[in-house]
Structures are given as structure tokens and as C-alpha cells.
Amino acid sequence: MVQGAQAIRDAAITYVIDPILMLMFSLGFFFFVLGIVEFLWKMKDGKVSEEGKEHMKWGLLGMVIMSSIWGIIALIDNSLGLNLGNPRNPNIDASQIPSLERIR
């Protein structure tokens, strides 16, 4: 039963939560770049674009919020040992990772 619940959790993270986070971060980045373009376009005409400033502000705020959420999730994950960051490789032992000394 536990393995089934873990498989559902892993699938939800991989196929639902991760794409939503990437989409939201991408939208924030898009609005930030759109604001820069609008601001520079209006600056060419000798005007100040309040709309461009607003897009830059809200895009940057969205990216900061998404980065903060990502950091909080990582903090909870590391504190509780949930291994949400990479559900396909649970609890990799550091001795299993090859080092340069062992390869030579």
C-alpha cells in the first residue's frame, strides 16, 4: 500500500506540480521581458511607459514568489527527508557515486 501511495505522489509531482511551477515561472519571466521591451520601446519615443514598469514589477515579483516557494519546498523536503526533489532516485548512498579516484 505504501509503494502505491509513493507512486501516486511521484506521478503527481512529476506530471502535475512540476509543469505547473515551470509554467508559472515562465509566465513571470515572459511578463518581465515584455515589460523591458515595452519600457525600451516607449523610451525610444521619449516617453516613460508606466505599463512597461508595471509588467516588469509584476513579472519580477512573480519570479521571486516562485523561487521562494521552490526554496520553502526544498527546505521542508530536506528537513523531513521526504525526497520530493528526485522521486525516481530514492535515498542514493553517496558511496555509490563514482569519484575520480575510483575511476582511475
90 within some domain: no
- At 14 the pLDDT is 79
Supply the range of the domain harboring residue 10: 2-80
101 within some domain: no
Q: Give the whole-angstrom CA distance, residue 46 versus residue 94.
A: 59
17 within some domain: yes
40 within some domain: yes
Q: Give the whole-angstrom CA distance, residue 91 versus residue 17.
A: 21
65 within some domain: yes
88 within some domain: no
- Reported as a single tens digit per residue, the pLDDT across 54-104 is 888 988 998 898 888 888 888 887 888 776 666 555 555 556 556 555 555
Count of domains forming the chain: 1
38 within some domain: yes
- At 52 the pLDDT is 85
- Reported as a single tens digit per residue, the pLDDT across 24-53 is 889 889 989 988 888 888 888 878 778 888
